[in-house]
Amino acid sequence: MVRIARLARLGLALGTAAVLAVGLTSSAEAATGSIRYFRYTGEEARIDNPPDNVCINLRFRARTLANETNKWVSYFYNANCTNFLNNLAPGRAVAYANPLSVRVIG
């Protein structure tokens, strides 16, 4: 009887450890495609396969922002994803909003 109880506790401990290990390890998701943005001079920059839910500061204020990913993108007037402007659907672009940071929201 003691042996069965010990085996049951061991099985429960191993099962709990497996659930925690699988639940706590999450692969970083990323959008497929690019976020392209352009300076008023025409200079272009791009962010390929941007990660989900990570604020990305742009290298310069974007006159035009194009979401060529498969996920929605939020764009912000200031750096560090502050001063929310709007969300941009996949395959869409916006001009003259002048964002300085973006975040893929899914």
Q: Model confidence at 9, in pLDDT bands (50, 70, 90)? A: low
CATH 1.20.1090.10 fits 33-104, yes or no: no
Q: Residue 47: pLDDT above 60?
A: yes
Q: Residue 3: pLDDT above 70?
A: no
Dist CA 48 CA 19 (whole Å): 33
Instruction: Say if residue 64 is exposed, middle or buried (CB neighbours under 10 Å; 0-12, 13-18, 19+).
Output: middle
Q: Residue 57: pLDDT above 60?
A: yes
In order of 57, 69, 80, 100, the CA distances from 74 in angstroms are 12, 12, 12, 11
Q: What average pLDDT does this structure show over 36-53?
A: 97
- Report field, pTM of the whole predicted structure over 0.85: no
Question: Taking the domains of the chain in order of start, what are their residue ranges?
Answer: 33-104
